[in-house]
Amino acid sequence: MARAVTPRRKAIATTAAWGIGLLLFFPILWTILTSFKTEAQAISNPPVFLFFDWTFENYQVVQDRSGYMKFLWNSVIIAGGSTLLGIIVAVPAAWSMAFVPSARTKDILLWMLSTKMLPAVGVLYPISLVFIKLGILDTRIGLVVVLMLINLPIIVWMLYTYFREIPSEILEAARMDGASLKEEILYVLTPMAVPGIASTLLLNFILAWNEAFWTLNLTAANAAPLTAFIASYSSPEGLFFAKLSAASTMAIAPILILGWFSQKQLVRGLTFGAVK
Amino acid sequence: MATAHSRTAARYMMAPAVTLLLGWMLVPLVMTLYFSFSDYRPLRGVFEPWVGFENYVRFWNSSSFADSVQTTLILVAAVLVITVALGILLAMLLNEPIWGQGIVRILVISPFFVMPTVSALVWKNMMLDPNNGIFSHIWRFFGAVPHDFLSQSPLFSIILILSWQWLPFATLILLTAIQSLDSEQLEAAEMDGAPPLARFWFLILPHLGRAITIVVLIQTIFLLSIFAEIFVTTGGAFGTRTLSYLVFQRIVESQNIGLGSAGGIFAVIVANIVAIFLMRIVGKNLDA
Amino acid sequence: MTAAADGHATTLTIATVNNGDMIRMQGYTDDFTEKTGHQVEWVTLEENVLRQRVTTDITTKGGAFDLMTIGMYEAPIWGANGWLVPLDDLSADYDVGDILPAMAGGLSHEGTLYAAPFYGESSMIMYRTDLMEAAGLEMPDAPTWDFVRQAAAAMTDKDNEQYGICLRGKAGWGEGGAFITAMSNSFGARWFDMDWKPQFDTEAWANTLNFYKGMMDESGPAGYATNGFNENLNLFQQGKCGMWIDATVAASFVTNPNDSQVADSVGFALAPDTGLGKRSNWLWAWALGIPAGTQKADAAKEFIEWATGKAYIEMVAANEGWANVPPGARQSLYDNPNYQEVPFAQMTLDSILSADPADSTVDPSPYVGIQFAAIPEFAGIATLVSQEFSAAYAGQQTVEEALEKAQAIATEEMEAAGY
């Protein structure tokens, strides 16, 4: 990078970038701030920004009423489980698409993506009936499977694009040295694809965490994750902005923090083969 | 290169993923097809397995169908245009050397982590609300009468929320693509005195082609089936009823499973038309 | 812990709505567990989500819940389909006869009770006594719509965010749809005639909508087309509304000094009429029903007796005062001298007693229900119709266009349903 950067240009760019960044972040920031206000302060006019009596009351109320940990744990299990299961199913498929491509590989890949276009609401009844028949309504395992299936096309595609970037000569060399297919995938391919796999894991964990249709409609008390937790705070009777903000903050905080800490991995891998 | 042995192995390795997805697609699809030819209204206790194409004709002829397809297409197109256009500008800005780049990037990508129900609730109650929303405070500060976004400009409001959610994703992919651009080439162009606009048009934009297609593809997949954002904000009123929301109303609110299933099949057809259209473009770009 | 010792203790999964009285009930779960040994898992959802969830569960026989919180619309329909356990063997202590006849009637099908009311409500006018006085007017106990409109105009000062009247305009059959339907009754309108033909092409409906929109444009808050119960409650509690016609349960919120800035200047009156013989108040109950598939029907009945019985009301009264007990379900509550001192008690009872779901319209109608018609198709039709109305309130189409579309939607749906 030998590009000469004038301080003026850097200053302008910095100001603009910070301005836009803060603008985009504002709704989240405002929600977090509101969660520390009393209900009365939350609707005060003009709005108070920082100078109010900070209180943890809302968090206390929400915790007493709902028991956050149960929902959090379900979210972790469902999002984590579906992502891991998805990776296990997707790695072999992506390997064969990347290294043993056939004339139909691309069609299969695009077909997989097209399964994501089925409107979920249209199949609410069929899926509910299947779940009831199998006895997996309101179980974590049921949701793990559904979310895995929903995200599988994305996982396969992401892994496929990473694997394709790995020169096949390396795999061939390993094969010459007598590595079996299993060893080839486990000891040669996977370590090289770790950044890609990490990024895939992260993205799909986020997608599964935020999925709000099936997680609401296929759960009751046992497997309900944070999306159901939120549904008990939207528009109740009476003042609710501060409590809604607290519940919202609790629902998004874990994934937000995870995202912040792992953003380098996520960003590095999030290309879907967009870069050659 | 690929031996017969590895070809067989490859087929076995594809099998689990392909079988699972095939089942995930076929089982509900076949059941939906079955329902769509029946008069199935559980609240009435009615189940007549075969009524021919009656549901399809009714769904097609209902006044809401054409509107909902139009709404869906406008919504998807608008969000795509906004996120791609702003995404390119933002990505170029983030590619500049700036102070605190890491933090800015965190701020920019944060909306992507927020679950759709929460972002819809936050926007509805804290931003757009005509009494307590931030926008109403800004309007009042300037002496204007607060605008009621969700009833006065409902489609715009939903596009706004969706764009906010998806801009980070577009920006990140486009940023990665811009970073991979050969900076020497750019500098050479700059030395040659090519004006910024020309550099953007002839050098940067073509380079981003592939990334843009991918953003378009992935976002379209998600946008075609958005639900929470409409359910929470307008409930489908004021011309914000998308096709998938119309199907939801038929199935869940009217409890007319037959009619709703026919609508679901229409939604699949529309999605596939869009998909074929997209796949053509992307398929080409994936080879390139 | 007697039941626990018997080995019958079980865990009940209860779906409920996130209204204040239900949240309060959750706080008392321990008392139920102590008395019966049964545990309770709550699934608390916002009203729209709850409806979607429990309806899917009951129609697919999902069996995810042992008890469901449902309303007057669902109970008779589901009961008729055999999806709910009949509540015909409740204990003598429970005293079924004490449930207000209007409530029991609305939750029964052919004389069998299918859900027990946790609380019941009608609607009435809540108004600001101080603003009314400042406007030089006096609210009669049973006002007309003309008076309400005139008073609303007199109290309005939009520059100071002071609106004469706040009413529901939000799309959805249970929100704005419920309000305008109840209002239309007083204007002589009805949903269907005796042949089940939709009636939106009548003058009575045009009068209703024009009056509503005219009054709200004059004296209502900005964005009333998206205001539901909650939005209006917030506005009223902040002192921005002169009058508010809505659920009687709101009375305890607006007179509670912790939440309401106008707690000590609220008066009550019957919902208005136009002199045609029907007032514009509705009738609703949130009730507990037991899905027919559950294995835990006995424990579920124990819960119903606990939550909707007299002892529960006394427990809440002892801990939080009489103003906070679940209202509108039992005659004995209104006979209780302690409760009679609550300022809104008498007006709530009068409103409930003046509503008759079996005879809600000026001209005869074939359906049961005041702000709804208890037929399975209604929720779907009314949601679509109320969306057209809300679009008219928001100025996106004229009242005539909205009514035309409403008529077309309702006709189309009713024909499809085989009427």
DSSP B72-140: HHHHHHHHHHHHHHHHHHHHHHHHS--TTHHHHHHHHHGGGGS-HHHHHHHIIIIIS-TTTSHHHHHHH
Q: A249 is written with which tokens? A: 């903050």
pLDDT at C95: 95
Name chain B's partners: 3 or more CB pairs within 8 A.
A, C
Residue A250 has pLDDT above 80, yes or no: yes
Average pLDDT for A257-267: 87
Q: Do A220 and C15 touch (CB under 8 A)?
A: yes
| Chain A residues with CB-CB distance to B93 below 8 A | 13, 16-17, 20
Evaluate the CA torsion angle C270, C273, C275, C279 in order and state its sign: negative
**Banded model confidence at residue A267, pLDDT cuts 50, 70, 90:** confident
Evaluate the CA torsion angle B120, B122, B124, B125 in order and state its sign: positive
Q: Do C171 and B236 touch (CB under 8 A)?
A: yes
Angle at C184 between CA C183 and CA C189, to 5 degrees: 160
Residue B179 vs residues A8, A159, A274, B173, B230: alpha-carbon distances, Å: 22, 21, 12, 10, 36
Distance from CA of A244 to the nearest CA of C (A): 12
CA A121 to chain centre: 21
| Chain C residues with CB-CB distance to A238 below 8 A | 20, 230, 233, 253, 259
| Chain C residues with CB-CB distance to B250 below 8 A | 380
| Chain C residues with CB-CB distance to A235 below 8 A | 46-47, 228, 230
Cβ distance B105 to A263 under 8 Å?
yes
CA B35 to chain centre: 27
Distance CA A142, CA C255 (A): 47
Distance from CA of C373 to the nearest CA of B (A): 14
Q: Do C417 and B252 touch (CB under 8 A)?
A: no
Q: Do A267 and B172 touch (CB under 8 A)?
A: yes
Taking residue A140's Cβ as centre, other Cβ atoms within 10 Å add up to 19
Helical (H) or strand (E) element with A190? helix A190-192
Residue C251 vs residues A45, B76, C16, C316, C320: alpha-carbon distances, Å: 25, 44, 22, 17, 16
Taking residue B3's Cβ as centre, other Cβ atoms within 10 Å add up to 10
| Chain B residues with CB-CB distance to A213 below 8 A | 227-228
Q: C407 is written with which tokens? A: 């008529």
pLDDT at A44: 82
Distance CA A196, CA A204 (A): 12
Helical (H) or strand (E) element with B46? strand B46-48
pLDDT at A225: 95
Nearest Cα residue in chain A from C65: A220
C115-128 and C266-270 beta bridge pairing: antiparallel
With both helix axes pointing from N to C terminus, report the angle between A105-114 and B4-36 in degrees, rounded to the nearest 10. Answer: 30
Q: Report the residue of C11, C28, C53, C259 to disrupt the A interface, i.e. the one with the largest count of A CBs within 10 Å.
A: C53
Distance from CA of B219 to the nearest CA of C (A): 26
Taking residue B27's Cβ as centre, other Cβ atoms within 10 Å add up to 14
| Chain C residues with CB-CB distance to A121 below 8 A | none
Q: Do B96 and A275 touch (CB under 8 A)?
A: no
Taking residue C355's Cβ as centre, other Cβ atoms within 10 Å add up to 25
One-letter identity of residue C37: G
Residue that is written with structure tokens 């528009």 in the block: A235
Q: Do C234 and B62 touch (CB under 8 A)?
A: no
Q: Do C405 and B63 touch (CB under 8 A)?
A: yes
Distance CA B223, CA B76 (A): 6
Each of the 288 residues of chain B gets a pLDDT tens digit; together they read: 457 777 888 888 889 999 999 999 999 999 999 999 999 998 888 899 999 999 999 999 888 899 999 999 999 999 999 999 999 999 999 998 899 988 999 999 999 999 999 999 999 999 998 888 999 999 988 988 888 898 889 999 999 999 999 999 999 999 988 888 877 777 788 788 888 888 888 888 888 888 898 899 889 989 998 998 999 888 888 889 999 999 999 998 888 999 999 999 999 899 888 878 877 776 666 654
CA A45 to chain centre: 36
Residue A2 has pLDDT above 70, yes or no: no
Taking residue C93's Cβ as centre, other Cβ atoms within 10 Å add up to 9
Evaluate the CA torsion angle C33, C38, C44, C47 in order and state its sign: negative
> Residues of C370-398 as b/e, b for ≥16 C-beta within 10 angstroms?
bbbbbbbbbbbbbbbbbbbbbbbbbebbe
Q: C343 is written with which tokens? A: 């300022």
Name chain A's partners: 3 or more CB pairs within 8 A.
B, C
Q: Which of A108, A110, A260 sits opposite B283 (nearest CB)?
A: A110
Distance CA A89, CA A166 (A): 20
Cβ distance C288 to C69 under 8 Å?
yes
Q: A159 is written with which tokens? A: 């892994």
Distance CA B166, CA B109 (A): 9
Q: B167 is written with which tokens? A: 């801009």
Low-confidence spans in chain C with pLDDT less than 50: 1-6
Q: Do C416 and B58 touch (CB under 8 A)?
A: yes
| Chain B residues with CB-CB distance to A268 below 8 A | 176
Cα-Cα end-to-end distance for chain B:
22
* DSSP label of A98: H
Q: Which of C376, C387, C393 sits opposite B44 (nearest CB)?
A: C376
Angle at C273 between CA C270 and CA C278, to 5 degrees: 95
Q: Do C390 and B249 touch (CB under 8 A)?
A: no
Residue A220 vs residues A137, A142, A208, B24, C13: alpha-carbon distances, Å: 8, 13, 18, 23, 8
| Closest of C145, C150, C153, C228 to residue C188, by C-alpha | C145
Residue that is written with structure tokens 């920004």 in the block: A49
Distance from CA of C116 to the nearest CA of B (A): 21
Mind spelling out the 3-state secondary structure of chain C? CHHHHHCCCCEEEEEEECCHHHHHHHHCHHHHHHHHCCEEEEEEECHHHHHHHHHHHHHCCCCCCCEEEECCCHHHHHHHCCCECCCCCCCCCCCHHHECHHHHHHCEECCEECEEEEEEEEEEEEEEHHHHHHCCCCCCCCCEHHHHHHHHHHHCEHHHCEEEEECCCCCCCCCHHHHHHHHHHHCCCCCECCCCCECCCCHHHHHHHHHHHHHHHHHCCCCHHHCCHHHHHHHHHCCCEEEEEEECCHHHHHCCCCCCCCHHHEEEEECCECCCCCECCCEEEEEEECECCCCCHHHHHHHHHHHCCHHHHHHHHHHHCHHHCCCCCEHHHHHCHHHHCCCCHHHHHHHHHCCCCCCCCCCCCCCCCCCCCCCCCHHHHHHHHHHHHHHHHCCCCCHHHHHHHHHHHHHHHHHHCCC
| Chain A residues with CB-CB distance to B247 below 8 A | 119, 121-122
Nearest Cα residue in chain A from B217: A113
| Closest of B280, B95, B70, B275 to residue B171, by C-alpha | B95
pLDDT at B35: 95
**HSE of C41, CA atoms in CB hemisphere, 13 A:** 16
Distance CA B120, CA B233 (A): 7
Q: C334 is written with which tokens? A: 């209104």
Residue C342 vs residues B208, B256, C100, C345: alpha-carbon distances, Å: 70, 45, 19, 5
Cα-Cα end-to-end distance for chain A:
20
Taking residue B11's Cβ as centre, other Cβ atoms within 10 Å add up to 13
Distance CA B77, CA C184 (A): 41
Angle at B75 between CA B70 and CA B77, to 5 degrees: 95
Q: Report the residue of C157, C226, C377, C378 to disrupt the B interface, i.e. the one with the largest count of B CBs within 10 Å.
A: C226
| Chain B residues with CB-CB distance to A3 below 8 A | 183, 187
Angle at C13 between CA C12 and CA C19, to 5 degrees: 120
